[in-house]
Amino acid sequence: MTYPIIVVPDEAGESIEQLGTKRKFWFNDKRLLFKQGRPGTGENWAEKVACELCGLLQLPHAHYDLAVWRGQPGVVTTSFLPPQWRLVHGNELLARIYPDYLTNQRYKRRQHLEAFASARRLRGGAATFWLERLASLGPADFEAIFQQVPPDLISDAAIDFAMRMLDSNRARLLGLAGR
């Protein structure tokens, strides 16, 4: 069984979202966001896979579905913010840890492992829970996610590469916990 592809109505482009580098717009009374992927990048399946991985890890996350609008592939996500709330972006969170983050290019190239280690010092309990979840999962769990991506959207080579990256990063993160 593969993940479904949501067909976004042609007239759906109600409100253009300016943030980020992709073409995107809100529709359905600003409850749904369509993000159009760039051709040949794998961005769409990567967003879906990341969403499903977060679910396995029990991390709070935006839910993504594969989608198409006017023949253009993308993803759809539901706004997860309650009314009157504001989204805090990752760069804003990093700026709390590294006060000059937004003005210092060095931090923008910061290794994810180092960033996780820094965040772990601030939220040790959350990091421990997440690392325990990560340790409980293995390649078969990750492979099951990739096998649900429609085969016309992802190649075997892309799956192999992504699985190797997941395995490598999983080992590095678990190494922080001495596992």
Report the number of distinct structural domains present in the chain: 1
Query: Model pTM?
Result: 0.82
DSSP H or E segment with residue 92: helix 90-97
74 within some domain: yes
DSSP H or E segment with residue 133: helix 124-136
Mean pLDDT of 61-78: 95
For residue 138, the enclosing domain spans 5-87+123-176
- Comparing 90 with 6, the larger pLDDT belongs to 6
How do residues 76-109 score in pLDDT, each as one tens digit? Answer: 999 877 777 877 777 777 777 777 766 555 555 4
Q: What share of the chain in percent tops pLDDT 90?
A: 50
Mean pLDDT, rounded, of the chain? 86
152 within some domain: yes
How do residues 110-163 score in pLDDT, each as one tens digit? Answer: 567 777 888 888 888 888 999 999 999 999 999 999 999 999 999 999 999 999
pLDDT > 90? residue 27:
no
68 with 74: CB under 8 angstroms?
A: yes
Q: Which amino acid is at 144?
A: A
pLDDT > 60? residue 4:
yes
Residues in the chain: 179
117 within some domain: no
Q: Report phi then psi at 8, rounded to 5.
A: -85, 130
Mean pLDDT of 155-178: 92
| CATH at 54 | 3.30.200.120
DSSP annotation of 102 reads: T
30 within some domain: yes
71 within some domain: yes
101 with 115: CB under 8 angstroms?
A: no
> For strand 72-78 and strand 32-36, is the pairing parallel, antiparallel, or unpaired?
antiparallel
114 within some domain: no
First to last CA, the chain: 34
Mean pLDDT of 2-24: 81
Position 37 scores a pLDDT of: 92
107 within some domain: no
Distance CA 72, CA 142 (A): 27
165 within some domain: yes
In which residue are the tokens 């769990």 written? 141
56 with 141: CB under 8 angstroms?
A: yes
**CB-based contacts of 32: which residues, under 8 Å, 6+ apart?**
26, 76, 77, 78, 79
